[in-house]
Chains A and B, each alone.
Chain A
Amino acid sequence: MSLAEVMHSIQSVGFLTDLRESALVYPVVMSTHLSCIAVFGGMILMTDMRLLGLALKKYTVSEVVSALRPWKRVGGTIMITMGLLLGSSEADKYYINPFFWWKLTLLTLIGVHALIFRPLVYNHPEKIDESPQIPARAKWAAILSLVLWFGVLTMGRLIGYYEPKS
Chain B
Amino acid sequence: MLAYDPASNPLNNNEWSFPLLEILHIAGFTLSIGTIAVVDLRLLGLGLLRHSAKELLRATAPWTLVGLVVMLTTGPAIFSSDPVMYLRNFSFKFKMVALLAAILYNYTIHRKVALAEGPSGGAAVLVGAVSLALWISVVFGGLFIAFV
Contact = CB atoms under 8 A, between A and B. Distances in A.
Given A42-B37, A45-B34, A153 B55 contact: no
The interface residues of chain B, by DSSP majority, are classed as helix
Contact of A42 (B22, B31, B49): B31
Nearest to B15: A161
Interface string A13-53: 00000000001001110110011011111111110010000
For chain B, give the interface size range. Answer: 35 or more
B35 A42 contact: yes
B143 A27 contact: yes
A34 B67 CA distance: 16
B36 to A, nearest CB: 8
B35 A46 contact: yes
B26 A34 contact: yes
Given A35-B136, A56-B59, A68-B47, A43 B37 contact: yes
Contacts of B37: 38-40, 42-43
B33 A39 contact: yes
Contacts of B49: 67
Contacts of A68: 38, 47-48
Nearest to A70: B47
Contacts of A37: 26, 30
A63 interface: yes
A153 B26 contact: yes
Interface in B7-49: 19, 22-23, 26-27, 29-35, 37-38, 41, 46-49
A58 B60 CA distance: 11
A154 B35 CA distance: 21
B139 A40 contact: no
A119 B26 CA distance: 31
Interface in B130-148: 132, 135-136, 139-140, 142-144, 146-148
B143 to A, nearest CB: 4
Contacts of A45: 30-31, 34
A42 B19 contact: no
Contact of A43 (B38, B140, B147): B38
Contacts of A150: 27
Nearest to A56: B59
B23 A42 contact: no
B94 interface: no
Given A35-B139, A38-B33, A55-B63, A158 B19 contact: yes
28 contacts: A27-B144, A27-B146, A27-B147, A31-B140, A34-B139, A34-B142, A37-B26, A38-B26, A38-B34, A38-B139, A39-B33, A39-B34, A41-B30, A42-B33, A42-B35, A43-B34, A43-B38, A46-B38, A49-B63, A56-B59, A59-B51, A63-B48, A67-B50, A68-B38, A71-B41, A153-B27, A153-B30, A157-B19
